[in-house]
């Protein structure tokens, strides 16, 4: 008896390998008697829904399968988190930090999930509170669009609140939340607060708050550290700050990072997992902390994050070290 009642399928239709792999999902599902519905479909007339609306339109599947790269996987997590369902990522991308299953393994992975032979790996997500509702001003949304897909709907907020507490949003970022300057000639000038206390004021191209999962993405490119995805922590990394202190901070999960736009700062774009979701200006503030939700990744085998790190970044041993000997692959083989 299958434990997989309904599959939500998200496909990078711009890659033929992804389209071919999607056909394998339909073939397996047809044989297993499991309904499949495509979700978050991109086309010329696409209007993307909120995560909750996308799940409802798809009949609330109990498994989301993504076929593409890490970007497609991020789309899947955004939707799946609305109903706390797991995500199985199939890799036909270039990097594949998040997606582990290859197309040739797809049928076996679906069978393993249906037979309860997989396990779930949980990842911390980032939540966002804002002093006002976020929006992208008219006339600049095309300029701000990141990526190749249609823009997401406005960030939703929950109910009425005391203005001092801000608005709790529906954001659940997998990788990072970034505050970045809009104009080339105007820096983002931001006061940064840790647990409500001023740490420092920055004038920078951007400030990144990343999850451990996102520590290998933009934060890493900006010089930030790599964190084990098993950790519950936040990473704060400035990008090209105009100050001597340009280091990252690693914060405990019970700590928050607050950002306040200073009075003479240029406008600041708020990007969530690579897509601009709002523009803020002087006097506005935002706070990032761990989301109450987690991403639930379907794994068919135990993951070796550090082997993947070495492989994906093409890490090589230091020539001087290689000249002095060869290290065994396993510590206990020494």
In the 3-class helix/strand/coil scheme, how is 82-134 assigned residue by residue? Answer: HHCCCEEEEECCCCCCCCCECHHHHHHHHHHHHCCCCEEEEEEEEEEEECCCC
Q: Is residue 263 part of a domain?
A: yes
For residue 140, the model assigns a pLDDT of 66
Do residue 190 and residue 209 come from a single domain?
yes
Range of the domain at 77: 7-117
Do residue 277 and residue 140 come from a single domain?
yes
Secondary structure letter of residue 224 according to DSSP: P
Dihedral sign (CA 167, 168, 169, 172): positive
Residue 183 exposed, middle or buried by CB count within 10 Å (0-12, 13-18, 19+): exposed
Do residue 172 and residue 105 come from a single domain?
no
Do residue 50 and residue 19 come from a single domain?
yes
Q: What is the b/e burial string over 277-313, where b = at least 16 CB atoms within 10 angstroms of the residue's CB?
A: bbbbeeebbbbbbbbebbbbbbbbeeeeeeeeeeeee
Q: What percent of the chain has pLDDT over 90?
A: 63
- Mean pLDDT, residues 282-294: 96
Of 292, 310, 326, the residue at which a domain comes to its end is 292
For residue 271, the model assigns a pLDDT of 94
CATH of the domain at 221: 2.60.200.30
Do residue 142 and residue 224 come from a single domain?
yes
Do residue 234 and residue 87 come from a single domain?
no
Do residue 113 and residue 129 come from a single domain?
no
- Mean pLDDT, residues 294-298: 96
SS3 264: coil
Q: Is residue 297 part of a domain?
A: no
User: CA-to-CA distance for 8 and 237, rounded, in angstroms?
Assistant: 35
Of 66, 97, 117, the residue at which a domain comes to its end is 117
Do residue 160 and residue 260 come from a single domain?
yes
Secondary structure letter of residue 81 according to DSSP: G
Active site residue 70: yes
Do residue 185 and residue 259 come from a single domain?
yes
Q: Is residue 226 part of a domain?
A: yes
Compare 301 and 143 and report the one with higher pLDDT: 301
For the stretch 92-103, pLDDT in tens is: 977 678 888 999
pLDDT exceeds cutoff 80 at 161? no
Q: Is residue 321 part of a domain?
A: no
| Residue of 40, 70, 170, 284 marked catalytic | 70
Do residue 60 and residue 144 come from a single domain?
no
Do residue 103 and residue 222 come from a single domain?
no
Look at the chain and report how many structural domains it folds into: 2
For residue 1, the model assigns a pLDDT of 40
- Mean pLDDT, residues 46-66: 87
Residue 49 exposed, middle or buried by CB count within 10 Å (0-12, 13-18, 19+): middle
- Mean pLDDT, residues 161-183: 85
User: CA-to-CA distance for 228 and 123, rounded, in angstroms?
Assistant: 10
Q: Is residue 325 part of a domain?
A: no
CATH of the domain at 49: 3.40.50.10330
pLDDT exceeds cutoff 50 at 2? no
For residue 154, the model assigns a pLDDT of 67
For residue 139, the model assigns a pLDDT of 65
User: CA-to-CA distance for 101 and 96, rounded, in angstroms?
Assistant: 9
For residue 181, the surrounding DSSP H or E stretch is: strand 176-181
For the stretch 208-235, pLDDT in tens is: 999 999 999 999 999 999 999 999 999 9
- Which residue pairs from 279-284 have beta carbons closer than 8 angstroms and sit at least 24 positions apart in sequence? 279/135, 279/136, 279/137, 279/140, 279/144, 279/182, 280/130, 280/134, 280/179, 283/131, 284/130, 284/131, 284/132, 284/260
For residue 5, the model assigns a pLDDT of 86
Q: CA 225, 227, 228: angle at the middle one, nearest 5?
A: 160
Name the nearest CA neighbour of 179 among 266, 75, 246, 70.
Answer: 266
Q: What percent of the chain has pLDDT over 70?
A: 89
Question: Residue 57: which pLDDT band, with cuts at 50, 70 and 90?
Answer: confident
The reported pTM is 0.89
Do residue 133 and residue 243 come from a single domain?
yes
Of 63, 95, 117, the residue at which a domain comes to its end is 117
Q: Is residue 331 part of a domain?
A: no
Q: Which parts are annotated binding residues for NAD(+)?
A: 70-71, 75, 175-176, 186, 205, 240, 275
């Amino acid at each position: 008896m299958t434990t997989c009642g309904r599959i939500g399928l998200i496909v990078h239709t711009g890659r033929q390998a992804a389209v071919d792999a999607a056909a394998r999902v339909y073939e397996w599902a047809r044989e297993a008697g499991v309904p499949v519905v495509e979700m978050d479909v991109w086309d010329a007339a696409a209007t993307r829904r909120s995560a909750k609306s996308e799940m409802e339109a798809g009949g609330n599947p109990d498994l989301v399968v993504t076929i593409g790269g890490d970007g497609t996987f991020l789309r899947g997590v955004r939707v799946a988190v609305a109903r706390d369902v797991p995500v199985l990522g199939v890799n036909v991308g270039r990097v594949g930090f998040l997606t582990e299953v290859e197309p040739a393994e797809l049928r076996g992975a679906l069978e393993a999930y249906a037979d309860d032979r997989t396990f779930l790996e949980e990842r911390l997500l980032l939540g966002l509170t804002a002093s006002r509702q976020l929006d992208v001003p008219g006339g600049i949304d095309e300029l701000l669009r990141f990526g190749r897909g249609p823009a997401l709907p406005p960030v939703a907020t929950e109910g009425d609140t005391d203005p001092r507490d801000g608005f709790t949003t529906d954001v659940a970022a997998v990788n990072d939340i970034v505050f970045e300057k809009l104009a080339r000639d105007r820096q983002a000038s931001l006061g940064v607060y840790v647990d409500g206390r001023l740490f420092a004021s920055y004038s920078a191209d951007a400030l990144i708050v990343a999850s451990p999962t996102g520590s290998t993405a933009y934060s890493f490119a900006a010089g930030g550290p790599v964190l084990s995805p098993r950790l519950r922590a936040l990473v704060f990394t400035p990008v090209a700050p105009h100050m001597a202190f340009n280091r990252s901070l690693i914060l405990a999960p019970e700590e928050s990072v607050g950002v306040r736009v200073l009075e003479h700062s240029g406008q600041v774009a708020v990007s969530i997992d690579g897509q601009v979701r709002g523009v803020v200006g002087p006097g506005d503030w935002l706070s990032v902390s761990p989301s109450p939700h987690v991403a639930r990744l379907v794994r068919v085998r135990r993951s070796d994050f550090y082997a993947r790190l070495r492989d994906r970044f093409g890490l090589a041993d230091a020539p001087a070290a290689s000249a002095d000997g060869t290290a065994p692959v396993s510590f206990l083989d020494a």
